[in-house]
Homo-oligomer: A and B are copies of this chain.
Amino acid sequence: MKTAAVIMAGGKGERFWPRSRQKFPKQFLSLTGDGKSMIRLTAERHLSMMDFEDMFVVTNRDYVPLVREQLPEIPPENILAEPKARNTAPCIGFAAAVIQKKYEDAVMLVLASDHLIKNTTLYLDTLSLAVDVAEDGQNLVTIGITPTYPETGYGYIHFGRDEQSGERRGVYTVKRFVEKPDLETAKEYLNSGEYLWNSGMFVWKASTVLQKFCELMPDTYAGLMNIQKAWGEPSQDTVLERNYAAFKAESVDYGIMERATHIHTIPGNFGWDDVGSWLALAHINRTNELGNVVQGDVITIGTRDSIIEGGKKLIAAVGLTDMIIVDTDDALLVCHRDSAGDIKKVLENLKICNRSELL
């Protein structure tokens, strides 16, 4: 059976402001120092499994030109522009409906466009196993990540072995999805060995997930079928627009995964990072001997454990510890590491002041 990748690229990524902007979010930035954007790296990672022709990108209409520019090899009709953001369930359902129409059926790899994976070999082996499990029957597979520390910013998957199902080696049953825990609970999860991080990557057949929509989100399913029927016809855009506007915004985790049966997880251990904030640069890039991650024209004097992203001018960093400095043409961020979560307050301030050109 054909395997297709669905790269979800509608996110706004405010936490990388001022480099990320509403018009240029994180997935289109190069953050790894190799000049390639996150979405480009995501697509290229799967080239040993499939051609660009079998990759799909679901994104906001405004980002279609960026996707075309950064991934010109993907056929334009595979770039699926959502008329409105409706969270991940409609997004994935939309892709499944289009894929089913194109291929009759296919295994879908549902992928984030802005995550980083360090070990591609282990990653592809994990996906390959997931594809086998998905092809087998009515299975939904979620890729879990073996936790390495008690992160409180992720959801977790409680997993176990279902002795009756004769599962394959490396494949486990999902007992329960759990929301972001507090630190104490996160520590318990980590120590128990029974929990994985929920990476938000899924593998299933288009037909399987559409069947789940039919059972669990029947209104959305009806809309998806309308879209599927009109896809490729003159009415395509108006039907898409009308049905999308009526979709309830819902995450696939809440709408499908937490309520469905036959949910399996495969623990991945391939150096996954969701690159959730500027702080991530300190673990995805090489730091120098003082713990700094420095890019651009930067002089550091007595400065350590800091992230400095230069723009077009010299930056002199003197006597700094634990700082984030990001210089761009029209905005400069200087932020203490412990306050990285407050960058969104800057954006709120800009919104209130009608300074949308800086958002």
Contact = CB atoms under 8 A, between A and B. Distances in A.
Nearest to A347: B316
Given A299-B349, A323-B334, A339 B314 contact: no
A316 B336 contact: no
Given A299-B349, A301-B345, A319 B331 contact: no
A346 interface: yes
A343 B318 CA distance: 7
Contact of A320 (B314, B336, B350): B336
A332 interface: yes
A331 B336 CA distance: 21
Nearest to A353: B299
A252 interface: no
A294 to B, nearest CB: 13
A316 B333 contact: yes
Contacts of A343: 316, 318
A14 interface: no
Contacts of A315: 331-332, 334
B358 A314 contact: yes
Contacts of A323: 334
A101 to B, nearest CB: 46
A327 B332 contact: yes
A355 B350 CA distance: 36
Given A332-B332, A335-B319, A346 B299 contact: yes
A319 B343 CA distance: 9
A37 B5 CA distance: 63
Interface string A293-322: 000000101100000000001111111110
B299 A342 contact: no
A185 B172 CA distance: 74
Contacts of A350: 299
A316 B336 CA distance: 11
Nearest to A324: B318
A301 B332 contact: no
A331 B313 contact: yes
The winner among A299, A315, A321, A338 for most chain B CB atoms within 10 A is A299
B316 A335 contact: yes
Contacts of A336: 318-321
Given A334-B315, A334-B334, A339 B299 contact: no
A333 B318 contact: yes
A350 to B, nearest CB: 7
B332 A314 contact: yes
A330 interface: yes
Contacts of A335: 316-320
A117 interface: no
A201 interface: no
A314 B313 CA distance: 15
A329 interface: yes
A346 B301 contact: yes
A25 interface: no
A135 B116 CA distance: 79
A21 to B, nearest CB: 12
Interface in A201-235: none
**What are the 5 tightest A-B residue pairs by CB atom distance, in nearest-first order?**
A319-B339, A319-B336, A318-B335, A316-B346, A314-B331
Given A313-B329, A316-B332, A318-B345, 7 more contacts: A18-B314, A313-B328, A315-B334, A316-B335, A318-B335, A318-B340, A320-B336
